Amino acid sequence: MTGNILCEYWREQAGTLLTSVETQALVACFTGNREHSTQIEQATAAAILQRIHGRRWLACGCRPGVEPPPLMGARRHDTGALHINRFGATAHDPGCPFYVEMDERTSPAIAGGGPLKAITGSWLLATPRGRGVSTGTGGKPVGNRSWKPRMPRLGRLLMTILEAAGINRIEPTDVELAPTEAGRPARVRYARLLYDRLKTLDSYELDTRKAPGLTWRDLTCTYLGGLTRHCIQIRKLIPKFRMPEDAQGLFVGVVDGVRREPEGHWVLVRKSKGNGPTATVRILGEPKTSGQKAGAGIGPFWAIAQLASDPTTSRIEPTEAYLHPCYSKAFPVPVDSDLERRTLRLALEQVVYWQSKGVGVHVVKPVLDELTEDEAACRPDFELRLPGGPRFLIETMGYEDDDYMQCKVGTHARMRRLPGVAGLFEHWAGSEEAEGRDRLRRLLTVAVLGASGRYLADVEDDCCTSGDLKGKTEREGEI
């Protein structure tokens, strides 16, 4: 491709070349000269955009040898008319009629900040003055969304903790098919409580300089109903801190969400089963929620709260909080969205099926970024791991607009370069089409059984999942 030649393009694959008449029509209508375009050119351009809208992009040949090429798509304006949308990491050549100055605020290539890394050193983040924690500002928006926004420091600490405790890793024996009465559908249940893995951190010292000898068990509360009493206990431990102003602690637990009270303050909320009491705890500041405004999103959530002294009362109280979605209260694997809950459900169903075939598969939800050999940072949505074998990635797909798809093209290319990755599969979680889900199950099963040395004849005609799982119910403690 050279010059102003345009071709249809999709997922790193060039397609049909546009004719010179079609190219000229787009140039006439969408490069600042529309008032001089003819009705025929306008009709031709409209037909092209209608043809590619939601299906293809246009690649420009003005930057020969550069990959990916400059890309354009068809976007529908508020008025209903389709227009050209320039996007992607590669700008047009300055001599190209489609060239425009790229605003750095709308470039997917530079949005989102640096890699998400674990917190090293101290887990006690409150500073003596103001008792605040550095929260960050989030990624720069691309259109009306942000791509992998920079996470607040308190959120990074939560991801560090979940990684250290192994709550983002599911072993084959963590889920099983529960026995049921005759005539009732089978269900998958949790053989082990992942929440209990936080206990493995009991002896960890959160900061050997500020709080020598004080451990996770001393300074961290994991149940919202006991948080008020825990704050009182931290106040009793003040003499054990290096300096009285260093006194602080953490709440790390699963909650149903946050809400703003009529008086204007925010509270963490944890509902009990049945008609039990609802636990609420006030937060002095406004809580941060993963990629959304406080109070938005579908729970439950992992919550982390900084416990420090209130400057006005000198009492130990929750001063700041960060919330991140999890799969369920009974099985709190972190997820990034409600769509990812659907992907994880599918993966867990497959784990049970593969276990019945004698193949143990581990599911991992990466919570920190991983670097490729060329230092590119990426974070897959989910991984399937065979002990001593390859890694298979599952990416949750939720949108079909050009900016989102171009971002995914770039990130998926990086993910395929991660060590040990043998395949990447897309799960269109927003689609309710059973045919698509069944095809994904088959593809995953062929890959997993093939990597484990099993014959493909083991792939059954029941969509590669246990037929007993059809019609399952979702209750507390179940998938």
> What's the pLDDT tens digit per position in 32-50?
656 678 889 889 989 998 8
State residue 144's pLDDT score. 32
Q: Output the pLDDT for position 479.
A: 46
pLDDT along the chain (479 residues), means of 10: 62 75 88 74 90 82 83 74 76 79 36 71 77 43 39 93 96 79 61 83 94 96 95 95 93 94 92 84 88 70 93 85 93 93 93 90 95 84 92 86 70 89 90 77 92 65 44 37
Only one residue has tokens 């951190």, namely 201
- Token pair 């054990």 is at which residue? 240
- 330-356 in b/e burial notation, b at 16+ Cβ within 10 A? bbbbbbbbebbbbbbbbbbbbbbbbbe
pLDDT for res 13: 64
Whole-angstrom distance, CA of residue 288 vs CA of residue 135: 9
To 5 degrees, how large is the angle CA 213–CA 214–CA 217?
A: 135
Q: Classify 270 as helix, strand or coil.
A: strand
With a threshold of 0.75, does the pTM exceed it?
no
Contact 91/103 with Cβ under 8 angstroms?
no
Residue 479, classified by CB atoms within 10 Å of its CB into exposed (0-12), middle (13-18) or buried (19+), is buried
As a whole number of angstroms, the distance between CA 169 and CA 271 comes to 26
Distance CA 150, CA 115 (A): 8
Secondary structure class of 366 (helix, strand, coil): coil
pLDDT of residue 448: 93
Q: Which pLDDT score, from 0 to 100, does residue 145 have?
A: 34
Q: Residue 459's pLDDT is what?
A: 54
